[in-house]
Structure 1
Amino acid sequence: MNKQLLLAAFIASATIAAPVLAKEITVDFSLPEFSTQDYNKPYVAIWTEAQGKNDTLLLWHLTKRDEDKWLVDIRRWWRKVGRYGDLPADGVTGATKGPGEYSVTLDIGELTAFNLMIEVVREDGGRSLLRQKINSQKNQKYTLEADAEIGNVTINVGK
C-alpha cells in the first residue's frame, strides 16, 4: 500500500514539476500610409501551414458578416484556410486597421515546424504575401523585408 501511495505521489509531483509551456510567436509589422483619396484599410491574415494542417492565427477584416464579401480577396488564405472554416473565427478576428505599427502575440500550440504566412490585401490597392519557415523548437528571430502593402516584419519565436 505504501509503495502505491509513494508511486502516486511521485507521478503527481512529476506532472506538476513539468509545466506545460504554451508556444507563442510575436509578429511586429507596420501598415504603410498611402496618399490616395480612396484609401481603404487593408485586410490582414496571418496563418500557419504545416503538413496539411492550416490554422488562422489572426484575421483583420470587416466585422459585419453579411457585408464582408471581400474575404475571398485574401486569395492564398482563402484557398488554404478561409473557405473551410467557420467565420468569424473566435479569438483571432478583428476589424481592419489603418496605417501604423502593430505587434501581435499569437499562440502556435504544439507546432514545431511550419510556414508562417502573412497576407495583406487592400481594395483598390495591392496585395502582399510573405512566408517564413519557422522552427519553434528554439528561440529565434526572423526579419522579412517590406513589400507593397506591408512594412518590415519581425517575428520572434519563444517557448
Structure 2
Amino acid sequence: MFIPKKLLIISATLSMFSSYANSQKLALEIDIPQLNVAEYHSPYVAVWLENKARKSTQIAVWYDVKMADNEGQEWLKDMRQWWRRGGRSLNLPYDGLTSATRGPGSYQISIDLDKDELKGLEPGDYKLRIEAAREVGGRELIEIPLTLPLDTSTLPIYKSGKSELGNISLNLQTND
C-alpha cells in the first residue's frame, strides 16, 4: 500500500504534538523571601502531593544535607505536617528528592506527572502541599488543590505565603 510522503509527515507531526500534549510536567515556583531578622537561617522546605486519605507522594525536600553525622535530618521534624504525612518514614538522603536548603530567591521544581510514583496515582482530588520551617523562625504551610487527571485549564495557580514562604505558582512547564 502506498502512503503519500505528505501524509506521513503530517501523521508524524500530529503524533509528536500528541505525545507532547500527553506529557504533563508542572513547574512549581517557590519564592523564599528575604527576612529582616537578626539571625537568618535558610528554611527547610518539603513539597508533597496528598490524597483525601492523607496518603502522600513526596516531591522535594530541602534541608542541610552537609551537616556532620547527618545532623540536618534531626531538624526535619520541624516541618510538622510533612513529618507526620510521610517524612519520618523516608530513608534520606533520597536521590532525586533531597537537596540543600536555599536562601532568599525564586526556585523552580519540575513535577513530571509521568514519573512512576506520580503516574500511578488514582484519579481524584489532591493537595499539593509546600511546608517551610526555619531555625529561630517560623513555620508555614501552603496548599494548592489539584484534581488528577490534571485539567490544564485550571492553570496557572497562584498562592502567597505570609512569612516563611513568598509567592508560589504552579503552571505547565514549557520546554525553553
Q: Provide the TM-score with structure 1 as the length reference.
A: 0.80
Aligned to 2:99: 94
Task: Report the Cα offset of residue 50 of structure 1.
Answer: 1.5
Count residues with an aligned counterpart. Answer: 143
Task: Report the Cα offset of residue 107 of structure 1.
Answer: 2.4
CA deviations over 1:48-73 (Å, ceiling 9, x no partner)? 10244311101100114621210100
Identity of aligned residues (%): 33
CA deviations over 1:89-140 (Å, ceiling 9, x no partner)? 2201100010011121122322443110000111110111011111242212
Q: Which residue of 152, 157, 162 maps to 1:147?
A: 162
Structure 2 spans left out of the alignment, 5+ residues: 1-14
Matches within 5 A, 1:1-159: 19=19, 21-52=22-53, 53-64=55-66, 66-68=70-72, 69-108=74-113, 109-110=118-119, 111=121, 112=123, 113-136=125-148, 137-139=150-152, 140-157=155-172
CA distance in 1, matches of 2:93, 2:58: 11
SS at match of 1:70: helix
Structure with more strand by fraction: 1
Structure 1 spans left out of the alignment, 5+ residues: 1-16
CA distance in 2, matches of 1:106, 1:19: 17
CA distance in 2, matches of 1:29, 1:103: 6
Task: Report the Cα offset of residue 24 of structure 1.
Answer: 2.4
SS at match of 1:149: coil
